[in-house]
Chains A and B, each alone.
Chain A
């Protein structure tokens, strides 16, 4: 066991433990006096399970993991297709398998599997050896599961696949004409998405984002209440389990999407800075791992992981503050949820494996 634990990176570990602890406290406060009073306990069990898987995975040589990436990717595609057919429909979307009473969201894990496979593909050859057609193929590898996820529909999750594409400039560098091309593609894609891909409720969210006060009782209500919670927290916060917005249930979906608002209300701006700092350290350590990695594939995976974590941070923390559209993207270690928690831990397990191998080399 000692041997096992030695494979864990201490700097990443401390950040992780701190985030888990704060997230669990937040869930405890958010669940109080609601039917979800036990959610912190349930989430702790997921954390424990995830942590164990992380420890196990960190001891495995990443190269062995990469070897399974292609079958895993195929399996993931099958799972995403299958969930559309046999999945449980909750709140208008079909995102979940129900296994033994537990819901499981395959798209959470598929995101990481896609990153794993793309990293593997990119890492097998030198950057110069990869041509444009190959890059298009890579983009297709990302786009295909995205489209399947959007069929559920789940725009937030689909978008969280996008950071994987950041690996391309990481590998090939960035040229001005590429940036321009990206802008054009984004514009065309945006219009196309608005016309053909986005569901009405997703369009509504964008509209509400542009003018939140237009619909205070409906969709805008959530963000409005969240902003009140955050803003009223002030510098020091209202104190643990003492946030009026949280405890009187004005704050909606406070155990998942809006968990960070609970933290911001009860712990104030200082608490927010502390947690943002922890996330900054987390991202920073992931980039360390990418820089120290033995192989290109490992480096790509670590950098991609940082990008995905970064996107979750940006979208969730920005969304609850009303700075970004309200679409469900969870905040790692704060938002309750089994599939996402396990996925985050598995990814970090692989990153720890990378760091460990780099050290013992």
Chain B
């Protein structure tokens, strides 16, 4: 190279060198901008995607019967979920996912949209309570959609299946309507009780979700966990139910529809409550299949109705005690009043028939109750005004809700002039003839089995009005301490003891020598455990539309009822039994009452029915539960 060329080259290289350092400086400035000026912003972004807050679902409290037998347990279940921050946004991704999961793309998109708007904490559940084949499918789908994850969560198990379906209820995801109705109280995807005690005892059972902060990698998988706030499990709840007695009722109702309730006279605790046909709450934990819809929701027998608190039945002759009480208190009859029954009697130009076409002859009140003479009570009713009967019903609590701790209880229907005016605006006048029907528990009057049982509990306790309840107490899972339920409210109604003893004698005679004694099984049990009660045979009647009633009545058998208490002296339990379309109260309902009396006072002490499944937990010496 000649010196001139070298000089020229070196000068140009100097420019290049400057450019090179300029490049280094420029890159340095870019990095200063990112790492110094915008550091906080990027640090936040890095944290946001690596640190996630995930809820730790609280195990729901167990439900035990009064003896500590498990009625509701928890098992582990696997759910396929999407964490909130991983929700897919692209329509084509959602569509592909829906195809892979074999669900409707529009429904999935809508679900994601709703969840995106309102979901908090809990992940979006795509498939719940997966069985083995579900898990295999989910694993395959997850390979294509890494934002899916599996979540282990406790799942409810109802140990007796249909044993106490209506009482226990079931759990499910909170629905949109409820969230709208009570804003701020629930979060989307939260598991709440939907029916039965699961619903009414939800606050005791649900516990408090915990949360944990976890470090996730790019696939959303947990790498490390820190800062966990433990979930507080729900309380273990003892119900007043006796699983064995419940089983007696379940067995007694095989093939029959109806409901029965047994109350503890000490405090109004519900010892058994069975509504037939029952349902298996376990089946309601997953989304309903078509088979389930047909079997339960479209079934004309309406198994989802808890007949014990939602079924309104004409009480039939079981209502005569209230009519008698009204007449005695009004003074229109005395216990010694004798009325002659010829088998039928005319009132207001219409003939009313007695059950016994040949007539009962001359009867006093005790005999009339024992023989369930209709003519006697037609006559008594004819001396009363409907509003008198209503006032007595009101005084003895039959017109109010019983206040049981179950959702959607219905009120018994006791007619009055005011009621008629409201219920039948086209024909608002109360006719005296209608009172005659009410005199034997027909016509417009309708009671729930629980309301009826509560009235007979009142008769058994000489006038104490109890509040039926299921909650007996709980075991605080933090302290392991047993906390009994606060005493349930009850009130004295001021029933005249002299009047009461007449009614008590009548009810005793029903079983000893009256209508119920016709059944040999009832007689046999009553010999061992004398008990009291009243049969009822109710025609299915609707007051407003007589033509309709007449047409229906031909096709439907009567409902059989029996309500009473046991034992006769110093009663401990009261009960009401309704068997739909089963005929006479004495042949269909009284034997069920006898069975439960037999179990409660004899067999329970000798051969208790074993609990459905699960281990006994003695409520009076609590021991640690089995490992979950």
List residues of chain A with CB under 8 Å of any chain B CB. 126-127, 166, 169-171, 173, 217, 227-235, 244-245, 248-250, 264, 268-269, 272-273, 276-277, 279-280, 283-284, 287, 290-291, 293-296, 299, 303, 306-307, 310, 313-314, 317-318, 321, 323
Complex contacts, A244 vs chain B, CB 8 Å: 46-47, 50, 215
Known A-B contacts A126-B5, A284-B21; the reply to A227 vs B42 at CB < 8 A is: yes
Complex contacts, B5 vs chain A, CB 8 Å: 126-127, 296
Determine whether the beta carbon of B9 is less than 8 Å from that of A299: yes
Whole-angstrom CA separation of A343 from B36 in the bound complex: 35
B71, chain A: closest CB distance, angstroms: 45
Known A-B contacts A269-B36, A291-B9; the reply to A229 vs B46 at CB < 8 A is: yes
A121, chain B: closest CB distance, angstroms: 16
Known A-B contacts A170-B16, A276-B27, A314-B27; the reply to A250 vs B35 at CB < 8 A is: no
B29, chain A: closest CB distance, angstroms: 10
Determine whether the beta carbon of A287 is less than 8 Å from that of B16: yes
Determine whether the beta carbon of B34 is less than 8 Å from that of A321: yes
Among B5, B42, B217, residue most surrounded by chain A Cβ atoms (within 10 Å):
B42
Whole-angstrom CA separation of A269 from B45 in the bound complex: 18
Whole-angstrom CA separation of A321 from B39 in the bound complex: 13
Q: Which residue of A lies closest to B20 (CB)?
A: A283
Complex contacts, B216 vs chain A, CB 8 Å: 248
Determine whether the beta carbon of A272 is less than 8 Å from that of B31: yes
Determine whether the beta carbon of B42 is less than 8 Å from that of A269: no
Whole-angstrom CA separation of A127 from B9 in the bound complex: 10
A269, chain B: closest CB distance, angstroms: 4
Interface size class of B (residues with CB under 8 A): 35 or more
Whole-angstrom CA separation of A323 from B30 in the bound complex: 8
Determine whether the beta carbon of B28 is less than 8 Å from that of A272: yes
Within 8 A of A (CB), among B1-49: 1-2, 5, 8-10, 12-13, 16-17, 20-21, 23-24, 27-28, 30-32, 34-36, 38-39, 41-43, 45-47, 49
Determine whether the beta carbon of B13 is less than 8 Å from that of A291: yes
Complex contacts, B43 vs chain A, CB 8 Å: 231-232, 234
Whole-angstrom CA separation of A170 from B19 in the bound complex: 13
Is B223 an interface position by the 8 A CB rule? Answer: yes
Determine whether the beta carbon of B24 is less than 8 Å from that of A277: yes
Annotate B403-429 by CB proximity to A: 1 below 8 A, 0 otherwise. 000000000000000000000000000
Closest 9 CB pairs of A and B: A231-B42, A232-B46, A280-B24, A269-B35, A249-B218, A283-B20, A248-B217, A232-B43, A232-B42
New A-B contacts (20) at CB < 8 Å, excluding given A233-B39, A283-B21: A127-B8, A228-B45, A230-B35, A231-B34, A231-B39, A232-B42, A232-B46, A249-B219, A250-B46, A250-B50, A268-B35, A269-B31, A273-B28, A280-B20, A283-B17, A287-B20, A299-B1, A306-B16, A310-B20, A323-B30
Within 8 A of A (CB), among B184-240: 215-219, 223
List residues of chain B with CB under 8 Å of any chain A CB. 1-2, 5, 8-10, 12-13, 16-17, 20-21, 23-24, 27-28, 30-32, 34-36, 38-39, 41-43, 45-47, 49-50, 90, 215-219, 223
Determine whether the beta carbon of B35 is less than 8 Å from that of A303: no
Whole-angstrom CA separation of A303 from B32 in the bound complex: 29
B586, chain A: closest CB distance, angstroms: 75
B28, chain A: closest CB distance, angstroms: 5
Known A-B contacts A230-B42, A232-B46, A264-B35; the reply to A170 vs B9 at CB < 8 A is: yes
Whole-angstrom CA separation of A268 from B35 in the bound complex: 7
Among B17, B27, B28, B35, residue most surrounded by chain A Cβ atoms (within 10 Å):
B35
Complex contacts, B27 vs chain A, CB 8 Å: 276, 313-314, 317-318, 321
Give me 25 A-to-B residue pairs in the complex whose CB atoms sit less than 8 angstroms apart, sorted by A's number.
A230-B31, A231-B35, A232-B39, A232-B42, A234-B35, A234-B36, A244-B47, A244-B50, A245-B50, A248-B216, A248-B223, A249-B217, A249-B219, A250-B218, A269-B36, A272-B35, A276-B27, A276-B28, A280-B24, A283-B20, A287-B13, A287-B17, A287-B20, A310-B23, A313-B24
